[in-house]
Amino acid sequence: MNDHPVILVPGLLGWGPDELFGLPYWGVAQKLNTTLRKFVAMLGPVSSSHDRACELAYQIKGGRVDFGSAHARTEGHSQFGRTYSTPFHPQWSESNPVHLVGHSMGAPTIWLLQHLLASDFFGWGSNANWVKSLTSISGVLNGSTATYFFGADERTGLLHDFSIGHFLSSAIELQVRVAGDLFDRLYDFQLDQWGIDSGQPLDRLMAQLARSPMFRGRDHGAYSLTIQALLEQNAVCRTNPDTFYFSYATEQTAEGLFGGYHHPEFWMNPFLFPTAFYMGRASYAHPFYPEFRASDWWHNDGLVSVYSQLYPRISGNHPVGGPISDLSSTSPGRWYHEIVEHTDHGDIVLFPEPDQIKPQRRFYRRLFDRLSEL
């Protein structure tokens, strides 16, 4: 048994516990009584995995966010961000590690954070063992083909100038559905490093974001979720031999009668239908990596392919332990996985359909019990 804290890390467009009237991004998980302390991170919702990983590090440890001088100089933004004076776990160290749990983009964010810790990026004397376990839920571990639906270039992963507005408007539409016309007062984009004020009216904010150099480079969330970005990330991130790795893949598409294409199941959130249909049959003019097969990526949860969610696989050397089972058969340094059937990308967090509230509660109860026993 252990009492290491659990850090819950949201995905792209995610929010923290003090935003959107306190609506829980993590569904029942946030209020579930467990033996482990839980903290919900609040990261830049459209920021890059690197910037989010840095913000997460300082939310846990405390201090002023340092994105790194070389990174800031290369990407063209400030080296420093916000200051966190009330950290989650100020005694964070190898002897006082944390359990990192990431949903969607939260998975590559925590994966990259462990890499930064392993290289002592922050100058704290850190190493990879500051992370006791890393859990990916609906995680974009190898990239999402949905990024190309939203306008990323298939060759480079970069957003075309004409697609920046499309990406932003699609992103905002999702959150406005939740917060309505109070969105701009209840949602923080956390883009201080880019000199962008999240407190301004939404129309002005969108115009400033569209003009920002942020989306014309690679230092933003859309690029971080492309296959190109995860090819790079998985090549440098190492699977630490002393860390436990778990991955839960969600799915809610079924193979059709012809062509092997995948279609959304009846109960999938209708808002995810367009991306689910696109991902379920997409083909590409150029392979993303030598072994790429488009059909591997068709089975999906509305936003991420099951193939991508299971474990890092498109670059690097990341041992696979097989399906998640009882703790006696799991060991550190290997990726264990499980498919959560008939569950779309949002059902595992956020607001599940009524018939999935109890399954969501059981899922997180088992997860937290498993982490406490490591």
Q: At what angle do helices 202-211 and 161-179 cross, to 10 degrees?
A: 150
Would you kindly state where each structural domain of the chain is located, as residue ranges?
A: 6-146+222-252+315-372
Domain 6-146+222-252+315-372 in this protein, CATH class: alpha beta
pLDDT one-digit tens code per residue, 232-246: 999 999 999 999 999
Q: Which residue has the tokens 């919900």?
A: 40
pLDDT bin (cut points 50, 70, 90) of residue 179 is very low
Give the pLDDT confidence score for residue 174 in this predicted structure. 53
Give me the amino acid identity at 159: L
**What dihedral do alpha carbons 123, 111, 71, 214 form, nearest 10°?**
-140
Residue 276 has pLDDT above 50, yes or no: yes
- Our separate counts of H helices and E strands in the chain read 12, 11
Cα–Cα–Cα angle for 275, 12, 372, nearest 5°? 115
Give the pLDDT confidence of 278-297 residue by residue, as tens digits. Answer: 999 999 999 999 999 999 99
Which span out of 100-114, 171-185, 210-224, 260-274 was modeled with the highest average pLDDT? 100-114
Q: What is the pTM of this model?
A: 0.94
Distance CA 325, CA 310 (A): 15
Position 30 confidence tier, pLDDT thresholds 50, 70, 90: confident
Q: How confident is the model at residue 189 (pLDDT cuts 50, 70, 90)?
A: confident
Does the pLDDT of residue 119 top 90, yes or no? Answer: yes
- The neighbour count for residue 174, using CB atoms within 10 Å, is 12
Q: Which of 39-43, 196-200, 236-240 has the lowest mean pLDDT?
A: 196-200
Query: SS3 of 152, please?
Result: strand
* Confidence at residue 137, expressed as pLDDT on a 0 to 100 scale: 98
Three-class secondary structure of residue 191 per DSSP: coil
